[in-house]
A and B are shown apart, each in its own frame.
Chain A
Amino acid sequence: MTPDLPPLPPLPRLRDGLLAVLRRDLLLAMQRPGDVLNPLFFFAVVSTLFPLAIGPDAELLRAIGPGVVWVAALLAALLSLHSVFLGDFEDGSLEQLLLSAQPLPLIVLAKTAAHWLLSGLPLVIVSPVIALSYDLAPASLVAMPVTLALGTASLSLIGVVAAALTVGLNRGNALLGLLVLPLAMPVLIFGARTVSLAASGDGIAAGVYFLGAYCMLAVTLAPFATAAALRISNE
């Protein structure tokens, strides 16, 4: 007969770990609102640069508007990428996350979600206003946030892989752009094209489907690549 052992404490569920990491990252960000607002200001400023550089030709601005807003959003999302793991790396909590009993890809997914909520979502919300300033057609005011939501999510997922690869490197910041931007090309192409198509009155379903499919692929594969990259960077 086996001796009576005290019952084991219940294991934390996967969802608890995911939500705990998400909550922690959001709380940390709330304590430094500047970090959240910076990408947003950057987005607005870059979108302002183009009309000033090119001149107030309404026809031309309408034509380049979708592309400009998309490029500005990509750069703004890129701006905050290198800090995704930086704070945790510096104070050592990243090693605690690596030692956690929770699966690392899930933790990484939570951190990616936090990054998107803080850097992607604000851009999505503001983008119709920027689109209006370029005098885009009403249909593209819908297409812009929809494509940006899917596109910035994909960008966060891919970008976090690169952030994990470069965490702790001195020259990480400039390197990050070189690593992420070529990989983000399909998202940019389809995002900006779809908004242009919407502006000229065409359907946007094909582009949105593609962006959705790309985002699904990224959700499926990127957390595993990020987890592998984090382990490599921290051994």
Chain B
Amino acid sequence: MWIFFHKLASPPHFYALAARLVPWLAAAAALLIGYGTWAGLFVAPPDYQQGDAFRIIYVHVPAAYLSMMAYMVMAVAAGIGLIWRMKLAHAVAAGAAPVGAWFTFLALATGSIWGRPMWGTWWEWGDPRLTSELILLFLYFGYMALRASIDDPGRADRASAVLAMVGAVNVPIIHFSVEWWSSLHQGPTLVRRDGPAIEAAMLYPLLAMIIGFTLLFAALLLSRVRAEVLFRERRARWVARLVRNEGGSA
């Protein structure tokens, strides 16, 4: 068991392992997202209140879920890197940030597009979820900006790790304070998702999309971390050997 972890932490091993995993993850993600898209658009019945507009949840919900998930992955990886000085963990944190930021952006964009027919505005400050997603996006920006502005890679890793952990403590506080703020303000919002249980024909595509998006996230993350590892280890001997071999076979 421990040998497995030790091997995982070694860059060349991880590089090879990730290379084998990525196609499988990507294929499974494509399959699930393909099914979810088709079933979500054509099989699921229109909502009795929202009509066809509800179908955007098939993108919105997985994106919103992954925007939080990616931050957690980033913060946990950053913590592991900081505590055990594990370089691979820092590479994972560095790779998770842009992917998470894109998912956050996607969740915001789809939420806003959905809000146009439902609320009549592109943006509703009274909706706590949308507002806290926006703050989450700023947290991602801050993390990436800090990382980009430090030239020394070791310092960049550890400084941004501290920031990620401070942010992780704050994310739940921000989320709940935004929620209380709007409940102080105007009572429950228009959208209540804890309404009647969702119908199976609507639910299965959603589940497929959530799992598919998660696999997509894993595939994207692993590809990014591979690139990151390759860049960081560019002076290492195994990379030189890799380049020579691939150059020979091509």
Q: Which residues of B contact A195 (CB under 8 A)?
A: none
B159 x A232 contact (CB < 8 A): yes
- Is the CB of A62 closer than 8 A to any CB of chain B? no
Query: What's the Cα separation between A222 and B181 when bound, in Å?
Result: 24
CB neighbours of A80 from chain B (8 A): none
Q: Contact partner of A179 among B135, B142, B155, B169, CB < 8 A? A: B142
Q: How many A-B residue pairs have CB under 8 A?
A: 73
Interface centre among B145, B150, B166 (most CB of A within 10 A): B166
Instruction: Tell me which residues across on chain A come within 8 A of B139, comparing CB atoms.
Output: 182-183
What separation, in Å, do the CA atoms of A170 and B138 have in the docked complex? 21
Q: Are B155 and A193 in contact (CB under 8 A)?
A: no
- Contact between chains at B166 and A161 (CB < 8 Å): yes
Partner of B145, one of A175, A222, A229, A232: A175
B162 close to A228 (CB less than 8 A):
yes
Closest to A171 in B: B149
Which residue on chain A has the smallest CB distance to residue B170? A183
Q: A171-B149, A182-B138 are in contact. Are A190 and B177 (CB under 8 A)?
A: yes
Interface of A is mostly: helix
* A82 → B minimal CB distance (Å): 13
Q: Beta-carbon contacts of A15-34 to B below 8 Å, as 1s and 0s?
A: 00000000000000000000
* Contact of A161 with B162 at beta-carbon distance under 8 Å, contacts A185-B174, A189-B181, A193-B181 already known: yes
| Closest CB in chain A relative to B137 CB, distance in Å | 9
Chain A residue contacts of B178, Cβ below 8 A: 185, 189
Residue B94 lies at the interface, judged by CB distance under 8 Å to chain A: no
Indicate whether B173 reaches chain A with its CB closer than 8 angstroms: yes
Is residue A130 contacting chain B, with contact meaning CB distance below 8 A?
A: no
Cα–Cα, bound, A80→B18 (Å): 46
Decide if B22 is an interface residue (CB 8 Å cutoff): no
With a cutoff of 8 Å between Cβ atoms, the chain A residues found around residue B142 in the complex are 175, 178-179, 182
Is A169 part of the contact surface with B, judged by Cβ < 8 Å?
A: yes
B224 within 8 A of A: no
A183 touches B166 (CB 8 A): yes
B147-186 CB contacts (< 8 Å) to partner A:
149-150, 155, 158-159, 162-163, 165-167, 169-170, 173-174, 177-178, 181, 184-185
Taken together as a complex, chains A and B put the C-alpha atoms of A214 and B185 apart, in Å, by 21
On whether A165 and B162 interact (CB within 8 A), knowing A185-B177, A186-B170, A186-B174, the answer reads yes
The verdict on B119 contacting chain A, using a C-beta distance below 8 Å, is no
Contacts A181-B138, A186-B170, A190-B177 given; indicate if A232 touches B158 (C-beta within 8 A).
Answer: yes
Interface residues of A in 209-231 (CB under 8 A from B): 210, 214, 221-222, 225, 228-229
Q: Please, which residues of chain B bring their CB within 8 A of the CB of A189?
A: 177-178, 181
Partner of B173, one of A170, A193, A214, A229: A214
- Tally of contact residues, A, Cβ under 8 A: 31
| B 197-237 to A, binary, CB cutoff 8 A, 1 in contact else 0 | 00000000000000000000000000000000000000000
Known contacts A165-B159, A178-B141, A229-B162: A183-B177 contact under CB 8 Å: no
Least CB distance from A139 to B in Å reads 17
**Smallest CB gap from B181: residue in A:** A189
CA distance A183 to B174 in the complex (A): 8
Report how far A96 CA is from B174 CA in the complex, Å.
Answer: 37
Complex CA gap A161/B142 in Å reads 13
Residues of A within 8 Å of B173, CB to CB, are: 186, 214
- Taking a contact as CB atoms closer than 8 A, the residue among B82, B141, B146 that contacts A165 in the complex is B146
Contact (Cβ within 8 A) A193 B184: yes
Q: Which residues of B contact A235 (CB under 8 A)?
A: 155
Query: A229 to chain B: which residues have CB within 8 Å?
Result: 159, 162
- B-side residues, CB < 8 A to A, are 82, 135, 138-139, 141-142, 145-146, 149-150, 155, 158-159, 162-163, 165-167, 169-170, 173-174, 177-178, 181, 184-185
Question: Which 4 residue pairs spanning A and B have beta carbons closest together?
Answer: A186-B177, A182-B138, A232-B158, A179-B142
